[in-house]
Structure 1
Amino acid sequence: MENIAHEQGGVVAALNARIYGYGNQTLVLSHGFGADQTVWHYILPYLAYYFKVVVFDMVFSANVKPNLYNKERYLKFDSYASDLTSLLDELNVSSTIYLGHSMSAMVGCIAANKRPHLFKHLILLGGSPRYLNAEGYVGGFQRSDVETILQYMKHNFSNWASSFAPKAIGVNNPTSIQEFKFSLGRMKPDIALHVAKTVFLSDLRRVLGKVKVPCTIIQSQKDIVVPKHVAFYMKKRLGGKSKVEILKTEGHLPQLTAYPLLLNVLKRVLGIVG
């Protein structure tokens, strides 16, 4: 299928989009690889008190019909960005605040470059424009590291998911580890491998300078997926006003493991009083 916007029922139905709250301002939450919209469950009730909050499942999620994941189409982040803008168009919202986690951070940047009027502010949580090390740039992974990961995923996806989940969570939090392992393990192995290749081998550094929408970059102090200094690299190269907030915690999914810290930052960023 060329575009999920052509799916019967539209993008809202295809990606299981849901709206919570009745605020005048729209806040969009977009999850990362291996997760689904339930990853926001700790912070969603609070945010829905102040905003109209949109959550949805990325097309690779186990909650979305597998036939909607077209491997040729989703070789590029641009297709995820098109899904996002189509979703916002269908919901008839603009000037949104967008919170994108992990790969969804760069999806938001690309979407904002294409359709800036749809976004008022980008909140980039644990995002990275490139995961591989390069000359003058430390993304955190050597090419050989990524090849090992991809081979492990290809040959024994279940075992890989079980071993990767606690590393990504980063702290001794059995509930969060089990939650992420469950959502990650539900992915179709061939889809998960394809997404992982697209993410780990991407280089979106050129995108940053084109982003004119104000950005807040939120990053854990220690994260096995994204080194802390990547946040400052992004700040330096983003084309518009930006700032960095470092969470004093470990792990790639602070919305599960350190949500009080994350909420405190979001309250400041979003101007929530009380």
Structure 2
Amino acid sequence: MYLNPRIVGCVERTLVLSHGYGGSQAIWDKVLPHLSKSNKVLLFDWDFAGATAGEAGEEERYTFSRFADELVALMDEVKLKGALFVGHSMAGMVGCIASIRRPGLFTHLVLVGASPRYMNSEDYEGGFDKSAIDEMLSSISSDFHSWANGFVALAIGIADQSVVELLARSFFAMDPRMAHGLARMLFLGDQREVLDRVVVLCTLVHVSGDFEAPPSIGRYMQGRLKRCTSAVLETIDSVGHFPQLVALEEMLRILNVMLGEGRLLASDVVEERSGNEGSLAEAEVNGDVDVVAMS
């Protein structure tokens, strides 16, 4: 399996950092120096990160089920179990499905900006009407790079050109056909029933000013995660969809609590800147994160 895996650090406790749509393992670069001091950290790239449609095959191959299988296979390959999994955006629901199939691989799921469904319906507020999603998909299909330019600026939410450029590089590395197929999977899918089967401890991390997965989505997920040991919601007072890039201190504070290391001091951030089988119904998982209705 070629997912460009990389392990940083050498202690026993393990962390898995997983990116979402349009990202790459580089989105964790700001938190990695601190986390690798006292953890063994696995990073990897999903196959849409920098691949071409010819390498990856038809866009219809994308399902949440398939991504979950790949995550489980990768963790088996590198012999990781009992890990704390940090899944950003799309990867949050991938981690949930993987934990249902193999709960022994995970001790804790940290779901950053995750959402089980983006489309509004009579009984659910996902954030986007069907017409907005159709318009977004049309924009991706007709002019992916223009759409991605607008999305990256909105997803970052701050005027930090270096951060914008970092995210833009990974977005623009995607093949437009793959980007369209993956966006269809994310925004037209519905993973809400998956939440009912999660038993692993969960922490939901949402940004107060995230247009794509606001705290209201986190509250919905928290209420539906009834079988897990505990589901805690943490809200970061910031903007955008990438707190690991724009709200570094708060993101690290939350992760440190999960890891039992207490609160990270602001000075530390400044310094760093210079086995069991689960069952899942064969309902195909088809819809989640990292793109937005931008036209």
How would you bin the TM-score normalised by the shorter chain?
A: over 0.9
- Rounded to whole Å, the distance in 1 between the matches of 2:27 and 2:58 is 24
Comparing 33-42 and 167-176, the one that deviates more: 167-176
**Among 262, 266, 271, which residue is 2:255 paired with?**
266
**1:118-157 mapped onto 2 (5 Å cutoff):** 118-157=105-144
- Tell me, what secondary structure is at the counterpart of 2:117? coil
* TM-score, structure 2 normalization: 0.86
> How far has the Cα of 1:222 moved from its partner?
1.2
| Cα gap change, 1:93 to 1:66, in 2 (>3 Å) | farther
> For 1:169-206, what per-residue CA distance to the aligned partner results, in whole angstroms no more than 9, with x for missing partners?
12222221121112101110000111011001110000
1:245 is matched with which residue? 234
**Among 150, 155, 159, which residue is 2:146 paired with?**
159
1:232 is matched with which residue? 219
1:20 is matched with which residue? 8
1:109 equivalent to 2:96? Answer yes
- Kept in 2: contact 1:139–1:227 (CA 8 A): no
Gapped regions of structure 2 (runs ≥ 5): 265-295
**Among 47, 51, 59, which residue is 1:59 paired with?**
47
1:203 equivalent to 2:190? Answer yes
- Kept in 2: contact 1:57–1:64 (CA 8 A): no
Identity over the aligned pairs, expressed in percent? 39
Which structure's relative contact order is higher, taking Cα pairs within 8 Å and 6+ residues apart? 2
1:87 equivalent to 2:69? Answer no
> How far has the Cα of 1:227 moved from its partner?
2.1
- Rounded to whole Å, the distance in 2 between the matches of 1:57 and 1:65 is 16
1:7 is matched with which residue? none
| Cα gap change, 1:80 to 1:270, in 2 (>3 Å) | same
1:5 is matched with which residue? none
- Rounded to whole Å, the distance in 1 between the matches of 2:199 and 2:30 is 30
1:218 equivalent to 2:205? Answer yes
**1:23-62 mapped onto 2 (5 Å cutoff):** 23-62=11-50
- Kept in 2: contact 1:60–1:69 (CA 8 A): no
**Among 145, 160, 169, which residue is 1:182 paired with?**
169
> How far has the Cα of 1:79 moved from its partner?
0.2
- Tell me, what secondary structure is at the counterpart of 2:213? coil
- Kept in 2: contact 1:20–1:53 (CA 8 A): yes
| Cα gap change, 1:25 to 1:70, in 2 (>3 Å) | farther
Amino acid paired to 2:172: G
> How far has the Cα of 1:70 moved from its partner?
4.7
| Cα gap change, 1:259 to 1:69, in 2 (>3 Å) | farther
Amino acid paired to 1:53: V
Measured on the aligned residues, the alpha-carbon RMSD in Å equals 1.4
- Tell me, what secondary structure is at the counterpart of 2:85? strand
- Rounded to whole Å, the distance in 2 between the matches of 1:176 and 1:256 is 7
Amino acid paired to 1:226: A
Comparing 264-273 and 233-242, the one that deviates more: 264-273
Gapped regions of structure 1 (runs ≥ 5): 1-10
| Cα gap change, 1:243 to 1:110, in 2 (>3 Å) | same
> How far has the Cα of 1:125 moved from its partner?
0.2
| Cα gap change, 1:66 to 1:107, in 2 (>3 Å) | farther
Aligned residues: 261
- Rounded to whole Å, the distance in 2 between the matches of 1:87 and 1:69 is 20
